[in-house]
Structure 1
Amino acid sequence: MMAKTLYKVSFFNAGKVYELYARRVESGALWGFTEIRDLVFDINEGLVIDPTEERLRDEFAHTTALHLPMQSIIRIEEVAHKGQSAIRDAATGEKVVTPFPVPPRGK
């Protein structure tokens, strides 16, 4: 059985570099845009291991397709295995640590 193609897509978004995994990457119907479909996230039951992965999953939960301007795309790689989705600082390349949500102070 042939394995499904998997892509790692790195792109600029709001001053950060997002790294996501997807099954489909195509030239979009909109001129100058690349269409990213079938996003892949780790589905972990129970304990949250990586809050960044959960944040990305929540941010793109209802997204059927991303239409990214070609200028925002840094790299598209065809990969054999899914790695960790990440948000990185655009200037330093360091992974942005997403803190756990803090409950609001009591009223």
Structure 2
Amino acid sequence: MRHSMSTPKSSKKTYKVIFHNQGEVFEVFVRGVYQSDMYGFIEVEEYLFGERSSLLVDPSEEKLKNTFDGVKRSYIPMHSIIRIDEVEKEGAGKISAASGDKVMPFPMPPAPAK
């Protein structure tokens, strides 16, 4: 059973999801955030991006648009999630470098000996 962190789609809530991805920190805006049936994952769907008609183009937002172009739903490992906020309205997504001295990975148990 899928446990929704949002209410039915008629309310159109917006969430800002910040997570680690391959040495970078992604900040995206989405309509749906759910606890996944796959253990240890969060589902995010309905990505929101700013208008393309703007004269100024943010390279990190363009990279996000290209990365998630055609993606219906993403499964993000729980330990990669930094924060999920319900926000009033969408903003500009961005990608920033993960700062090694400020971000600690979630502690994981050592791998079992073979």
Which TM-score band (shorter chain)?
0.7 to 0.9
What is residue 31 of structure 1 aligned with on the other side?
39
1:14 and 2:25 are equivalent in the alignment: no
Q: Deviations over 1:11-48 (max 9, x none)?
A: 00011110000000000121110000001011313745
Question: Aligned to 1:45, which of 53, 57, 62?
Answer: 53
Superposed displacement of residue 83, structure 1 = 1.7
Structure 2 residue runs of 5 or longer lacking an equivalent are 1-9, 101-114
Q: Distance in 1 between matches of 2:54 and 2:40?
A: 41
Superposed displacement of residue 90, structure 1 = 1.0
TM-score for the superposition, normalised by structure 2: 0.73
Count residues in correspondence.
Answer: 92
Q: Distance in 2 between matches of 1:51 and 1:15?
A: 17
Is residue 50–residue 91 contact of structure 2 (8 Å, CA) maintained in 1?
Answer: no
Runs of 4+ in 1 over 3 A off after TM superposition: none
Structure 1 residue runs of 5 or longer lacking an equivalent are 93-107
What is residue 74 of structure 1 aligned with on the other side?
82
